[in-house]
Chains A and B, each alone.
Chain A
Amino acid sequence: MFVGPFLLGLGVFTYIPLGWSVYLSFFDAHNTVTPSDFVGLGNYTAMLKNEAFTDSLSTFLVFSLLIVPATYALSLALALMVNRQRRAQAFFRSVFFLPAACSYVVAALIWKMSLFSGVRFGLANTVLGWFGGDQIAWLSTTDPPWYWAVIVTVRLWLQAGFYMVLFLAGLQRISPTLYEAAAVDGARPGWQVFRYITFPQLRATSVAVVLLLVINAFQAFDEFYNLLSDARGYPPYARPPLVYLYYTALGQGQNLGLGSAGAVLLALIIAVVTVGQAKWFGLGRKEAQ
């Protein structure tokens, strides 16, 4: 009885739309969710041949290669720093975690209009000006692709605190006796202890963090959309898959069949990457005795 409403909600808002989307992906569904023209795998082949879609996957790949290691390193560094902090630990934890509570949309707009505005009074350009540098149109140049600096830093700021908390939990699970034993064996505190004790002990947390980071990177939408779109559209050079599918299915294009095929393909790619990655890292495997 108590589970019923939740199951109903899950069915109505998740499973039925999911099933319907798979159904739509086999039809020519322009401006309709009840199509009649069956096209088989036509939408799938069209999507795979579509340069814009494959480009969007490349965009994801670049984003992933930039954001996953950066977030991993920063959040681990913050966790180590805060964990060692003897005074005001709660304060620093809160300070680093707080950006996680900020909306991606708001942060993206602050980055776009204030920090990385392309004119002379944008904060980044003002600082460059102090050192005699030229103004940079951060979001409008492709060579060099400065827009990545904006996109990556905004997400880094927003999510590093959250992953720091996960690492903190992992750090607190490490038994102090290991450190004591290492000290007895003459291990030098600092890098040596981190390299041989802390880092290996964080393996399970690290795998989970990388997994979450990759999935989140695949789902990137808000900051890309709010940093780069305008009323007339979106530039092709930094359009991740979800933004592309949004324009295909929900924008004026309203090609719901093609968009659904893209969504199914994307879900399959995420599933394959996730399972492959989990296998690679041995997630869920029992620790060696």
Chain B
Amino acid sequence: MTISRRGLLGTGAALGLLTACGSNTGRDDGGSGGGPELSQWYHQYGEQGTEQAVKKYAAAYDKAHVTVQWRPGNYDEQTAAALLTDSGPDVFEVDGPTLDQIQGKQIADLTGLFEGVKDDFNPAVLAPKTYDGRIWAIPQVIDMQMLYYRKSLLADAGVEPPRTLDELVDAAKKLTSKKTKGLFLGNDGGAGVLGGTPLYAAGLELVTEDGKVGFDDPAAARTLGKIHQLYADKSLLLGAPSDWSDPSAFVQGLTAMQWSGLWALPTVQKELGDDFGVLPFPKDGAGEPSVPVGAYGAAVSTRGKHQQAAKDYLKWLWIDRTEYQEDFALAYGFHIPARISLAKKAGKLRKGAAADAVRFTTDHGYAQPLRWTPAGRTAYQDALSRIIKDGASPDGELRKVVRKVSAELDRVKKK
């Protein structure tokens, strides 16, 4: 059988039409309502029911047709790349935004949405979303990290819950045995997850309020040297099947203490009952205990065709519908609502380790400053990895990082 060119083109066109009819445009999933079409992106949460919940919220909005996309994989990289194109989302979760995204005018100014409610948002997480006095994302829920410890294992080893970094180093060593390691800070030895936490615990900071490097101080090298000591003592669990964000290593008894997030609390409680406690990262020298806090924010892309509709939707979802915020924070996983009034009245946060976590967040919480750019963060994490694992000189490594971060701070200041 021969196929004429016209026949081939016709078949191709028909196939194209069929493909178009059947293609998944993402517009029929999760949303309803009239008005403009909006696409909304979330990163994939590990907590069951969250996806259905956000689709339910979107479907309840009647002034726009909102399509929810639940995106597994490297979400931050996906959104960063999508913001360069017209096919990205109208509204999306962002772990930030970054200063470059704001200065690059990729994110819409949402200051107007906070009228009358700004003071009800936790200032620690609102600060990194604020630049030049304008607010660029709505904090959804607060996440924080803390130290989980197994009471029975500490009691058996005659170890008190560590209140200083020196005590943590000692405790981890005493708790290490053939079967159980003293402490789990992630499979990289803590370089990734700890970030600036030890610096804050030493009374320092990543970037000062006036935009200078906040750890150009001998105390920084001393503190980071102690983290290396944990590695050198072989007190750290390394190479666990799941990383620090998952409490599996802790509940399986692979480690006596683990640095993890508030989200792990329900699992730990279910598996260990009352046999655990939580602590902030212990202080060092003249510093204070510290816990990192952060919040995924809801942002609007400036490339979207319906920016005002997108802003109206976000205001409805994350500012007006407070019952959804509480549901999102506490019904599926375990997070602190970003609104102070909601966090105060949430029953699940009033007792036990959860109440401790909320107190740590209020008393010792710090958020990564907006000027802590990805380039500076990578340089610092690389240095931390070399200090921890290679035993590189903390002084020398930090000098290089200070130079790099200073150059980055100068770059963003010029824009």
Interface residues of A (CB under 8 A from B): 1, 30-33, 51-52, 113, 116-120, 122, 136-143, 230-233, 235-237, 247, 250-255
- The answer to the question of B101 belonging to the interface, with a C-beta cut-off of 8 Å to chain A, is yes
Query: Are A233's CB and B84's CB within 8 A?
Result: no
- The answer to the question of B167 belonging to the interface, with a C-beta cut-off of 8 Å to chain A, is no
Q: Least Cβ distance of B26 to chain A in Å?
A: 22
Q: Which 5 A-B pairs have the closest CB atoms?
A: A118-B239, A232-B192, A137-B238, A31-B104, A140-B238
13 A-B interface contacts by CB (under 8 A)? A30-B100, A31-B104, A32-B84, A32-B104, A116-B239, A136-B239, A138-B239, A140-B187, A140-B238, A142-B390, A230-B192, A250-B81, A254-B100
Given contacts A1-B5, A116-B239, A232-B192, 4 further A-B contacts (CB under 8 A): A231-B192, A237-B389, A247-B378, A253-B374
Query: Are A141's CB and B238's CB within 8 A?
Result: yes
Residue numbers in B under 8 Å from A247 (CB-CB): 378
Give the number of A-B contacts (CB < 8 Å): 111
- The answer to the question of B386 belonging to the interface, with a C-beta cut-off of 8 Å to chain A, is yes
**Complex partner residue of A31 from B80, B243, B385, CB under 8 angstroms:** B80
Please measure, in the bound complex, the distance between the C-alpha atom of A235 and the C-alpha atom of B237, giving whole angstroms: 17
Query: Are B241's CB and A117's CB within 8 A?
Result: yes
B83-142 with Cβ < 8 A to chain A: 83-84, 96, 98, 100-101, 103-104, 106
Interface residues of B (CB under 8 A from A): 5, 76-77, 80-81, 83-84, 96, 98, 100-101, 103-104, 106, 179, 186-189, 191-193, 195, 237-241, 243, 245, 249, 254, 373-375, 377-379, 381-382, 385-386, 389-390, 400
Query: Are B84's CB and A31's CB within 8 A?
Result: yes
Q: Least Cβ distance of A30 to chain B in Å?
A: 5
Asked if A119 meets B189 with Cβ closer than 8 Å, knowing A31-B83, A140-B239, the reply is no
**Complex partner residue of B106 from A31, A117, A141, A235, CB under 8 angstroms:** A31
Residue numbers in A under 8 Å from B106 (CB-CB): 31
Asked if A31 meets B100 with Cβ closer than 8 Å, knowing A230-B192, A230-B243, the reply is yes
**Complex partner residue of B193 from A122, A232, A254, CB under 8 angstroms:** A232
Residue numbers in B under 8 Å from A31 (CB-CB): 80, 83-84, 100-101, 103-104, 106
Please measure, in the bound complex, the distance between the C-alpha atom of A237 and the C-alpha atom of B385, giving whole angstroms: 9
Please measure, in the bound complex, the distance between the C-alpha atom of A138 and the C-alpha atom of B101, giving whole angstroms: 37
Please measure, in the bound complex, the distance between the C-alpha atom of A253 and the C-alpha atom of B381, giving whole angstroms: 14
Q: Least Cβ distance of B255 to chain A in Å?
A: 10
Q: Least Cβ distance of B394 to chain A in Å?
A: 15
Asked if A118 meets B385 with Cβ closer than 8 Å, knowing A31-B80, A140-B189, the reply is no
Please measure, in the bound complex, the distance between the C-alpha atom of A51 and the C-alpha atom of B375, giving whole angstroms: 13
Please measure, in the bound complex, the distance between the C-alpha atom of A250 and the C-alpha atom of B386, giving whole angstroms: 24
Please measure, in the bound complex, the distance between the C-alpha atom of A230 and the C-alpha atom of B382, giving whole angstroms: 14
Residue numbers in B under 8 Å from A233 (CB-CB): 191-192, 377-378, 381
Please measure, in the bound complex, the distance between the C-alpha atom of A139 and the C-alpha atom of B187, giving whole angstroms: 8
